[in-house]
Structure 1
């Protein structure tokens, strides 16, 4: 696996159906390395600290392969890297094969897979269509949050090398399916 793009976003105010929404989901690819710190990606806006950022959700990775599925559902939408709010767009990040606790060497960093990303209404704001939230829930294409075990810079082209496997733990997809069931979705 390798990083296709690194993405950051700025705090943005969006008027959604008459209500102002503050979000950092509008990420965009950058042509420079980004610094993965213990609780966040430097220079990336996190507007909802209750659900994003922090030690267990410092970095969000999403697979480029998943884009094809959603492009079919939204053929008129201009898909840009970072579309799902991810910091790292990885060529083939497979939630059904990555287990909680699996560890990766990426650029100068070491990352540990922690939990799935649960979609919220801000994904709907990003897509300008709230149907995306249910469509996202109905897949295992949730993306992966990572804990930063070793801080440092990463850039497009860096290899995502697994250095520790935890097959005794649930996969990220298993965690996502369990969360979906608990929510009754």
Structure 2
């Protein structure tokens, strides 16, 4: 299938202080003009406040659908002026591609780099603090507008204006949206959890978590 878009903006940056507690965070990224280099660990010069849960080869590059900011601004009008591309800490901002059209394991040509979708982003409390909006991260999760992470298959470079083009699709079923429908289900079907855990290209951490949940539910049902 043909699935393409173009990069609107590239973001990366150093650490900043997140109020009110003063944690170090990488959510305040800066727009990059001109080409950036992406390696296995991510964009050169990008930083993360907590390397246990952010960054690394399975979360090397984060993309967010720019069209979602209008929904967020409508739901959180008090933060509308701040809700703009890059403000959720994404590295790539583009229109068109979204959680419904992008699937786990999808391989994209992005500039001269080749990236593979490894997992969705799991929104956390830092989004709430960033915008002083208590329930924003919950809204992002519930609406399944989380964005997604890539691993780097082939290092290279990209910049605003470069093409994002699907090269390979390995899972016909599990879009990012479908991932969340299974994962967030109050009573998930065990076979669905196992099928999702086996989706080609899914990050190992999610494979383990989904398999363990399926095993737990199987024991309870037995």
Query: In the alignment, which residue of structure 2 is the partner of 1:50?
Result: 52
Q: Does 2:181 align with 1:177?
A: yes
2:163 counterpart residue number: 159
Compute the displacement of 1:177 (Å): 2.8
Corresponding residue SS for 1:181: coil
Q: Are the aligned partners of 2:34 and 2:159 in contact in 1 as well (CA < 8 Å)?
A: yes
Which runs of 5 or more residues in structure 2 are unaligned? 189-222
Q: Secondary structure at the match of 2:22?
A: strand
Per the normalisation by structure 1, the TM-score is 0.90
Gaps of 5+ in 1: none
The structure that is strand-richer by fraction is 1
The DSSP-based 3-state class of the residue aligned with 1:84 is coil
* Aligned-residue offset at 1:69: 0.7
Q: What is the CA–CA distance in structure 2 between the aligned matches of 1:142 and 1:132, rounded to whole Å? A: 11
Root mean square deviation of aligned Cα: 1.8
- Match among 2, 10, 17 for residue 6 of structure 1: 10
Q: After TM superposition, list the pairs within 5 Å mapping 1:1-185 onto structure 2.
A: 1-16=5-20, 19-75=21-77, 76-168=80-172, 170-181=174-185
Offset of 1:64 from its aligned partner? 1.0
Q: Which has the bigger relative contact order, CA under 8 A and spacing at least 6?
A: 1
Aligned residues: 181
The 8 Å contact of residues 107 and 114 in structure 2, kept in 1 or not, is answered as: yes
Structure number, greater radius of gyration: 2
In structure 1, distance between residues paired with 2:151 and 2:173:
16
Residue 45 to residue 149, structure 1, CA distance change in 2 (3 Å): same
Residues 24-52 of structure 1: CA deviation (Å, up to 9, x unaligned): 00123221222211012111111111211
Quick check: 89-98 or 148-157, which moved more? Answer: 89-98
Deviation at 1:20, TM superposition (A): 2.1
TM-score when normalising by structure 2: 0.76
Q: CA deviation at 1:9?
A: 2.5
What is the rounded CA distance, in whole Å, between the counterparts of 1:29 and 1:74 in structure 2?
24
Query: Within 1, Cα distance between the matches of 2:34 and 2:130?
Result: 24
Provide the secondary structure at the position in 1 that maps to 2:119. Answer: strand
